[in-house]
Structure 1
Amino acid sequence: MSREDDDGLLAGIDASAMMGHLEELARWTKHAGSDEEKNSLDYIKATLESYGYRTSLIRHPAFISLPVDARIVIDGMTIACITHSHARSTPEGGLTGRLVHVGRGSASDFARDDISGAIVLVEGLVSSGVTSRASAAGAIAQIHLSPHEQPHEGGVSPVWGSPSIDDLQLMPSTAVLSIGRTAGRSLVDAALAGSIDVTVHATVDTGWRLIPLLEAHMPTVKDICEEPFVLLSGHHDTWHRGVMDNGSANALMLEAARILAQVRGQWKRALRLCFWSGHSHGRYAGSTWYADNRFEEMERRCIANVNLDSVGGVGATMLENTRSDLSTGSLADDAILEITGQRRRGLPIQRNCDMSFWGVGIPAMFGLLSEQAPENIDFDIPCGWWWHTPDDLIDKISPDFMARDTKIVARVLWRLLAEERLPLRFKGYLDIIGRTLTALTPAHRQDLDLEPVLLKLSALESLLLEFESSTETGSAHDDTAIKLSRVFTNLEKVGGDRFSHGLVQAAPVVQDEASTWPVLGPFHLANMTPSEEKDWYFILQSAYRSRNRINAALAEAITILNSSRT
């Protein structure tokens, strides 16, 4: 694969065609499981079939929650607002309680007052964390003050995907509403002025329903059984028309699929596209279902999840914050630098945007690709103030930025599909483990008996250098790279059972890659704790288990690489 091939591929990107797709997709409000969502997916399905892809429209059960209506009544005056996915509906007649202002809704904010039986007023967007804290403190309802004139839609379930029988006790137990900034300030003033009662009404349609999942696949020209594939994915369901979130990503996926199909004869690996439902209204229910029900196939065959969400927005000039897993980071670095001249900061990828496949062991890229310029970002909304509001319309899309983002994605996909050797790199994992362990004090290292781990790190580094510098190509090399990605993705991303999905979590405040590894947490805690502290031996027990897990993963990687040499 030459640079001329690469440049020729990108030259064929058609921004006007993508805008045409967006105009079509903008016709529908795509609530999960709705007829309008099905109409929109039918359009995408027919378009992909015209490009030569084999498609399948799957319908599967998901726990979906659709806000219906809400209102707030104070001193006889009714104030418009919205309610949220997976919040509780109020009984007939609503819920009445004293209004208590709790600032941003931190743990300390809730600890300041007795809010049992109260309706709390929170400044900021809804989140599962605030909802859980409010429930634990005894609030009967929450009202969130939007940072903008429009309240932002969203979900408040802490459970990733559809809940299992084990998760039901974690689901929200309060009504949750959001109100626009100006109307909300009057509530703040009323709450701060003294004790005042407020009544909230909310209706949320929550339950199991069938939702669609569109799968499209194109094998290589050899069409070999069980050949590896790259996954290009993005959600399809929307809040309101959702032209940027996530119509823009859907249009980009169609254009990338079109231009890549034209050079299929040069592919070494297959391409699969998945359009998820249940992202907005089911907490990533579609991609979670796919991970649960295609686990074995994905583990055997899927190389990487190139996921897209909210691309091409007007003002979205920032690509330095684009995220990627370590094994795919150099792919993102090279594409972004080549297309935009910007250097990626190397931030760790976050658990959002349908990152549902880490338990399977599949590395991921992107999610949010382009963000608003720093001067345009307010209240931690990098997608634009119109995100999750009725104002997310086609005027929020830049054709030039759509073309730019498509070039980045197509270049990454082209390399994953067509390079002789899978361009995955693993040394970064060893560097982070090594730095974390050697940062421990000598006494801590002695208590933990880290010598076996450090010896394996050294041996694995030599084997990786040999593997990544070899000239071997073909299925044997790909198979080894895929197996290594399973080991390292699980080690970095999964804190417990790899067959469960855990909870929705807020993005970490510290943007250091090592700080996001659950398995390294006990070592960071140990490093901050003198061995004389009363909790030291409790911390040590956790560190023992993390050490053993790392040791086992390194041993597995060594076995994989040694087997590839024979």
Structure 2
Amino acid sequence: MSDEPSNENARREGQGSEAERRFLADLTGGAAWELVERFATLNRESGSEDERVAARTIAQRLQEAGVPVEVYTPELYLSLPRGARVSIDGATPLSLTGKTPSFSVSTGDQGTSGRLVYLPSNFAQGSGDLFDSNLRSAEGDLAGAVVVTEGLPLPQKVLDIRATGATAAVFVNPGERIHEAICTPIWGGPDLESADRRPTLAVASVNRPDGERILAAVKAAQASGRSLTATVCTWLEEGLYPCPVTVATIPGSQEPEKFVLLHGHLDSWHYGIGDNAVGDGALLELAIGLWRNRASLRRSVRIAWWPGHSQGRYAGSTWYADRFGVDLAENAVAHVNCDSPGCRWATVFEEVSWMPELAAFTQEAIRDVTGLDSSGERPPRAGDWSFNNLGVSGTLMLSSTMPDPLRKEKGYYGVGGCGGNIEWHTEADTLEVADREILTRDIKVYGAVVWRLATCERLPFRFRATVADMKAALDRYASQAQDRFDLDPVAQELDKLDRQLARLEAADTLAATAVNEALLRVGRILVRLHFAKGDPFRQDPALQVPPLPDLAPAGRLAQLEPGSLEAWFTRTSLVRGRNRVVHGLREAQRVVEGVLKGV
């Protein structure tokens, strides 16, 4: 294949082309599976020698294939758990070995003690509600208490427990194994504005059998009118660690400055085969395949392996968003996240993450490769989606998963990766969790998505779908507000933008470069309005972001006492949020109007 195609040839290399078929045929899974087997021997904790070995292995294999690669070594702020113990007094004292999540307070051997209080909660049913708190309201004064509850120690629930005044928390995991976790609400590392959000609780997790023993002791004590004292000991190492960020670049032939960012995390909890050695192998296979077929690429593709995902709350991808923020804001076409593909029994594509503008595009790619329909959800504030504040459209996080009937048959509960396998974030996430055939299929899905984004003449964004999603959220907020706040100005601007976008979609005589530039500018605006509140070069907290987050407080306004200070504060926030949204929508209209003048 020639390395220097004509422009006319390049226009024919996109979706469904012979060039795409050749590229997908090149993705046999061999390079990916070889890396998965190698990683099965490496415990890739961030900041560790095994993580550095893993990065060197990837760089070496890229170099052997001729793929240009750079390895950066930033210092990342990490928290490395080293163990936990929960002790409870009473008629039958308990001393239980547990785990502590990253960024828990480290108590050392002295621990922290308090009255043991049970706050009921729920276990997650799937990845869609994994990050919800579900914590019921506390009764009475919990200052200095040790709270025990169900679920995983994820940021929102830990924040809710902190708000009760408790000094420590014990989380009862849903199964026999204890899942590793990270409890800080700070995305990617503290700065001057977020450092005070660091967790102040000592947090421990126990498995379900031990948790049921604790809950039984609490209930027995309550029945007899007694109280129990619990002591939580946690051990962690915390600080700055040099970590490898590996980035391969396959240059485009016509718009090399524009790029698709394909990425996933290198580090793991324990051996982390399903999360995320399979993703690391997929990225390697895709990098080599794209390099072999680079002559057909219109735009560049950057493939990145992030450290600091598991023990740094996405510290590696956040470092990249900081270090290359202006480049990303000006030139990133889209980002595609690769986490936990190719796991056993993962035969369906459900709860796939995508932004509305890329939903139909991603579904078509999945259908073309696999013959399967797919369903998706609003991307959670999770994974390595560190580019929302920059306004970069994204698709995929987790890919395939096991069907719900099979999960129910196996008695599985909700987890956040590994294709639904409950070995996720445990010592049992070993080679048995991966499936070579499924991995090869999933690599081709990612390949089709990235190939089309990098080769299509006109970008495939459908921002009318984003506007429709915004309208649905706005209607919900307006109904909840019960005429206590006027959201009509936003509705009017959404209608105007929708009409303009309809004209833009129908304008097939416009130059593709002009349309693409307009689409990217509109995307920067709408993604920020719909998925972020902070400035473009900051990171919102690692907490769930509702649609049109500036206007979400309207949903609770009707519950507040009219004339109260809280209601006044809420209305003031909503006025400012409405101004931001209206201004942004008008700016998007001006962008579309500008390109439509060329019709």
Fold match by TM threshold 0.5: yes
Query: Which residue in the other structure is 2:155 paired with?
Result: 128
CA distance in 1, matches of 2:65, 2:495: 46
**CA RMSD across the alignment:** 2.9
Equivalent residue, structure 2, for 1:314: 344
Q: Kindly state the Cα deviation for residue 215 of structure 1 after the two structures are TM-superposed.
A: 1.4
Q: Deviations over 1:291-332 (max 9, x none)?
A: 122111101110111001111111222313212112211221
Could you tell me which of 21, 37, 40 is aligned with 1:7?
21
- Between the aligned partners of 2:43 and 2:197, the Cα distance in structure 1 is 30
- Which of residues 428, 446, 464 in structure 2 aligns to 1:391? 428
Displacement, 1:484? 1.8
Q: Distance in 2 between matches of 1:530 and 1:72?
A: 40
Paired amino acid for 1:379: Y
Instruction: Report SS of the residue matched to 1:227.
Output: strand
Is residue 83 from structure 1 mapped to residue 115 from structure 2 by the alignment?
no
Alignment of 1:334-413 (within 5 A): 334-375=364-405, 376=407, 378-381=412-415, 383-413=420-450
Match of 1:458 among 485, 490, 496: 496
Deviation of 1:563 (Å): 3.1
User: Number of aligned pairs?
Assistant: 555
1:362 is displaced (CA, Å) by 0.3
Q: Which moved more, 1:18-27 or 1:49-58?
A: 49-58
Per mean C-alpha deviation after superposition, the further-off stretch among 350-359 and 50-59 is 50-59
1:190 aligns with 2:217: yes
- Give the equivalent residue in structure 1 for 2:587: 556
Question: Structure 2 matches for 1:154-193, cutoff 5 A?
Answer: 154-193=181-220
Matched letter for residue 306 of structure 2: W
Alpha-carbon distance in 2 for matches of 1:233, 1:14: 20
CA offsets 1:237-269 (integer angstroms, 9 cap, x no match): 100000111111111111122222222111110
- 2:171 matched residue in structure 1: 144
Contact 2:68–2:250 (Cα < 8 Å) also in 1: yes
**1:118 deviation in Å?**
2.8
Residues of 2 paired with 1:180 and 1:436: CA distance? 38
Describe the shift of the 1:183–1:476 C-alpha distance in structure 2 as closer, same or farther (beyond 3 A): same
Instruction: Describe the SS at the equivalent of 1:299.
Output: helix
Measured in 1, the distance between the counterparts of 2:524 and 2:370 equals 31
> Structure 1: 5+ residue runs without aligned partners?
509-514
Given that 1:93 and 1:201 are in contact with CA atoms closer than 8 Å, whether structure 2 keeps it comes out as yes
From 29, 33, 46, the equivalent of 1:32 is: 46
Distance (Å, rounded) in 2 between the aligned partners of 1:502 and 1:463: 28
TM-score (norm 2): 0.85
Deviations 1:114-149 (A, max 9, x none): 433332222221122222233332323222111111
Contact 2:155/2:542, CA 8 A, preserved across alignment: yes
Deviations 1:492-514 (A, max 9, x none): 111243332122224x8xxxxxx
- 1:387 Cα shift? 0.4
Partner of residue 477 from structure 1, selected from 496, 500, 515: 515
Residue 239 of structure 2, aligned match among 185, 207, 214: 207
1:35–1:456 Cα change, 3 Å: closer
Contact 2:356–2:469 (8 Å) recurs in 1: no
Where does 1:508-519 land on structure 2 (aligned, <5 Å)? Answer: 516-519=547-550
| CA distance 1:451–1:23, change in 2 (3 Å) | closer
Cα contact 1:522–1:546 (8 A) shared by 2: no
Partner of 2:109: 92
Change over 3 Å in CA distance of 1:204–1:468 after alignment to 2: farther
Q: Bigger CA drift: 177-186 or 375-384?
A: 375-384
Alignment correspondent of 2:536: 498
Secondary structure of the 2:243 match is strand
1:474 Cα shift? 4.9
Contact 1:41 1:214 in 2 (8 A): yes
Contact 1:436 1:520 in 2 (8 A): no
Is the 1:311–1:370 Cα contact (8 Å) retained in structure 2? yes
Q: With the length of structure 1 as denominator, give the TM-score of the two structures.
A: 0.90
How far, CA to CA, are the matches of 1:83 and 1:31 in structure 2? 15
Alignment partner, residue 115 of structure 1: 142
1:355-388 per-position Cα deviation (integer Å, ceiling 9, x unaligned): 1101111011111112232131633215321000
**Residue type of the alignment partner of 1:255:** E
SS in structure 2 opposite 1:151?
A: coil
The one-letter amino acid paired with 2:251 is P
The gaps in structure 2 that reach 5 residues or longer are: 1-12, 123-132, 222-226
